[in-house]
Amino acid sequence: MTQNTLKVHAFWDKDAEVWVATSEDVPGLVTEASTIESLISCPGN
């Protein structure tokens, strides 16, 4: 099995008051959530 490593940058946007995640490793990835827990949770878990 091949394993890939992806780097995701998460930061607090104080103007929008949300956590934002982006990644140069995943083109088009931009997501936001009101809590860091929501941001890092995996759908389906």
Would 32 be classed as within a structural domain?
yes
In a domain, 3, yes or no: no
- The neighbour count for residue 19, using CB atoms within 10 Å, is 19
Read off the pLDDT band of 1 (50, 70, 90): confident
Domain range for 21: 9-40
Residues pairing with 13 in the sheet: 18
In a domain, 2, yes or no: no
* Model confidence pLDDT, tens digit, residues 10-30: 999 999 999 999 999 999 999
In a domain, 22, yes or no: yes
User: Could you tell me the pTM of the whole model?
Assistant: 0.79
- Number of domains into which the chain is organized: 1
Residue 1 lies in a domain: no
Cα distances (angstroms) measured from residue 28 to each of 1, 2, 17, 21, 45 = 26, 23, 21, 11, 23
Dist. CA 32–CA 29, nearest whole Å: 10
34 is a domain residue: yes
4 within domain boundaries: no
